Structure 1
Amino acid sequence: MRKLVIDVAPGEYAVCKLNDGADVPVGLFAAAGDALVSVTSAPGEVSVICPADLAPADAEVEAGWRRLTVRGPLAFTLTGIIAALSSELAAAGVALFTLSTFDTDHILVKGDDLTRAAGALRAAGHDVRD
């Protein structure tokens, strides 16, 4: 795996579950500013990843996540990025939640695991920047 530059985003994130068919809160994208917001609809649920302070009030919320972003854009022909990073984090005992966008990949780790996660990624040769 080539050396990746990984940025640690500021702030805490939440992974949220809305009931199937629920409306995404109006203004969520605007309120987030430059922060990551993702809304995914799947059978039986709507998932929202957003800054923790913007978590929908009527959602099931798993808070306390920190975001690591692979600096991109990444070509669609690249393979194994998430596999390599998740293997390196698993070997360090760090649970994760992944999300990909058109340009790059994001990994969420619990805030208590952030130091261990960054250390494991650095030990694997990646450039982790706060």
Structure 2
Amino acid sequence: MKDLEPRLDPEHLAVVKLPAGWQPPNLPEGTFAAVVSSDLEVTVVCPESMLEHDGWTGDAEQVDIGWRRVTFPGPLPWEQVGFLADVAGRLAGAQIPFTSIAGFTTDHVLVRAAQADLAVVVLSGEEPPPQRPGINP
């Protein structure tokens, strides 16, 4: 992963579950956000600071705060195989849970704020992840 250095964003993020059909408000320019909409639910990843924005989270069914974003600036080729598996293996080896979000040319993983610095160390290859039977890549 040395060719794609992970970058830790300082902003704390929230993952918000909203009812199906919910429409997101306009986001301020430059705001990191992700919206996943299905017939079952809408999930929004946004800065914690936006939770008060226009009161839109009053519709929230669940709010999970305390996430940080680790970005792998791309571009990542569409043909690349195993990138996320490598990320998952390294984080699992260090017992760091995560979720991922992909942009067109950039990938992101969300990790708990308390483990964010360790995640960057593990993902950058500065030190090998701890060895755990059955979980290591």
TM-score by length of 2: 0.80
Structure 2 unaligned segments of length 5 or more: list them. Answer: 128-137
The equivalent residue for 1:48 is: 44
Q: Structure 1 residue 20 and structure 2 residue 29: aligned?
A: no
The residue that corresponds to 2:57 in the other structure is 57
2:89 match: 87
Q: Is the 8 A contact 1:88 1:124 kept in 2?
A: no
Using the size of structure 1 for normalisation, the TM-score is 0.84
Percentage identity across aligned positions?
31
Cα offset, 1:3, TM superposition: 3.4
CA distance in 2: counterparts of 1:14 and 1:118, whole angstroms: 19
Greater relative CO, 1 or 2 (CA 8 Å, sep 6+): 1
Match in the other structure for 1:119: 121
What is the alpha-carbon distance in structure 1 between the residues aligned to residue 68 and residue 114 of structure 2? 9
**Mind listing any 5+ residue stretches in structure 1 that lack a counterpart?**
126-130
After superposition, the C-alpha distances for 1:79-112 in whole angstroms (9 at most, x for unaligned) are: 1111101110010000001011111110000000
Count of residue pairs brought into register by the alignment: 122
4+ residue segments displaced more than 2 Å: 122-125
The one of 96, 100, 107 aligned to 1:98? 100
Q: Which residue of 2 aligns with 1:128?
A: none
The structure with more radius of gyration: 2
